[in-house]
Amino acid sequence: MNLQAAKNLLEVKNLKKYFPIKAGIWKVKGYIRAVDGISFFVREGETLGLVGESGCGKTTVGRCILRLIEPTTGEIYFDGQNIMKLNEKDMRKYRRYMQIVFQDPFASLNPRKKIIDLVAEPLVVHGFSKNKLQEKVIELLDSVGLGKELFFRFPHELSGGQRQRVCIARALALNPKFIVLDEPTSSLDVSVQAQILNLLKELRWKLSLSYLFISHNLSVVKFISNRIAVMYLGKIVESADSKELFTRPLHPYTQALLSSIPVPEPNFIKKRVILQGEIPTATAPPSGCRFHPRCQYAQPICGKKEPNLIEENKDHFVACHLI
């Protein structure tokens, strides 16, 4: 499938999410700028990887897209419809096409319900026929590789990988077009991670799904993503095709991130880019380029003017004054 020719399933324009910092009950003394004006798109059948350090706003982006938390401002177009203009009732209809798999599978499953009931829950909520309910649930659990002996167990009786498979089955229950994967393998063993990643790739191909894959593990993101967007302190600083980003990173922050990936070769000496200083606070981000206090190439303009995310090459966008 030629993904570059595919239409955009999701378009996000100037998305912002500010969390108020309160002094007392009513007074607001400032804001945490978790997401501060980002724009990107996800094509049909594509996986967009979203990477960055902890606290950069990746998870907030995923939850804003589904309106699990309400964005401060911005536009979110899903299949041509601006879902920011939908009321709660209309948004509920769209949620069957937009699902999420959370980072911690144990925390996202009701410990008092059996596996078969957990997967059936979204089908019941959306009025699926009771006559075909059990047949559909068995089909879903079978599609993620869970045997029938697990159907009537509780979440605490499963391994971490099995619990994550249950979460994936539940996300697939309503035949979605788009799934947010919020670090779905970070709490799993390496061998189990590989199984879950292969399962996700197989399901994407078989069901024509689109993913937003959120992670801080660059090796995992490279394996599963068609394109990658790099976030820093609430901003997207670079996005490109996965292979292009790894072979020709342009932004200094992306270069530093890629240089930190471990190489499984004890005698190989890799040149590391060591960033100086601490990550600035999201309550009072630096003026100009957010990265300039830690950038070894910073120029006077970097602290004065915020760079725009421009297309340096086909599908390769970067926000840097030096490019």
For the whole model, what pTM was predicted? Answer: 0.92
- Cβ atoms of 215 and 51 within 8 Å: the answer is yes
Determine, yes or no, domain membership for 101.
Answer: yes
Query: In residues, how long is the chain?
Result: 323
Determine, yes or no, domain membership for 91.
Answer: yes
Determine, yes or no, domain membership for 317.
Answer: no
Determine, yes or no, domain membership for 29.
Answer: yes
Report the domain count for the chain. Answer: 1
Q: What is the DSSP-derived secondary structure letter of residue 296?
A: T
List the Cα angle 158/160/163 in 5-degree steps.
Answer: 60
Task: Report the DSSP pairing between strands 47-51 and 210-214.
Answer: parallel
Q: Which residues contact 193 (CB under 8 A, 6 or more apart)?
A: 185, 220
Region of poorest pLDDT, from 17-26, 103-112, 137-146, 186-195: 186-195
| Gap between the Cα atoms of 205 and 56, Å rounded | 30
| Gap between the Cα atoms of 25 and 135, Å rounded | 51
What is the pLDDT confidence band of residue 65, given thresholds at 50, 70 and 90? very high
**What was the pLDDT predicted at 131?**
83
Determine, yes or no, domain membership for 311.
Answer: no
What is the pLDDT confidence band of residue 240, given thresholds at 50, 70 and 90? very high
What is the rounded average pLDDT for all residues in the chain? 90
Domain that holds residue 85: 3-225
Determine, yes or no, domain membership for 299.
Answer: no
Report the side by side order of strands in the sheet with 27-43: 27-43, 8-23, 73-78, 81-82
Q: Which of 255, 253, 256 has the alpha carbon at shortest distance from 232?
A: 253
What digits encode the pLDDT tens for the residues 113-170? 999 999 999 999 888 888 888 889 999 999 998 888 888 999 999 988 899 999 999 9
**What was the pLDDT predicted at 127?**
82
Determine, yes or no, domain membership for 279.
Answer: no
pLDDT > 80? residue 42: yes
pLDDT > 70? residue 1: no
Task: Report the DSSP pairing between strands 8-23 and 81-82.
Answer: unpaired
What DSSP string runs through 43-110? Answer: ETT-EEEEE-STTSSHHHHHHHHTTSS--SEEEEEETTEEGGG--HHHHHHHGGGEEEE-S-TTTTS-
CATH number of the domain at 100, please: 3.40.50.300
Q: Quick one: tokens of 85? A: 């203009």
Q: Which of 141, 144, 208 has the alpha carbon at shortest distance from 177?
A: 208
Question: How many other CB atoms sit within 10 Å of the CB of residue 92?
Answer: 12
What DSSP string runs through 157-209? Answer: GS-HHHHHHHHHHHHHTT--SEEEEESTTTTS-HHHHHHHHHHHHHHHHHHT-
Question: How many other CB atoms sit within 10 Å of the CB of residue 113?
Answer: 14
What digits encode the pLDDT tens for the residues 287-303? 999 999 999 899 999 99
**What was the pLDDT predicted at 62?**
95
Handedness of CA 268, 273, 278, 281 (dihedral sign): negative
Determine, yes or no, domain membership for 115.
Answer: yes
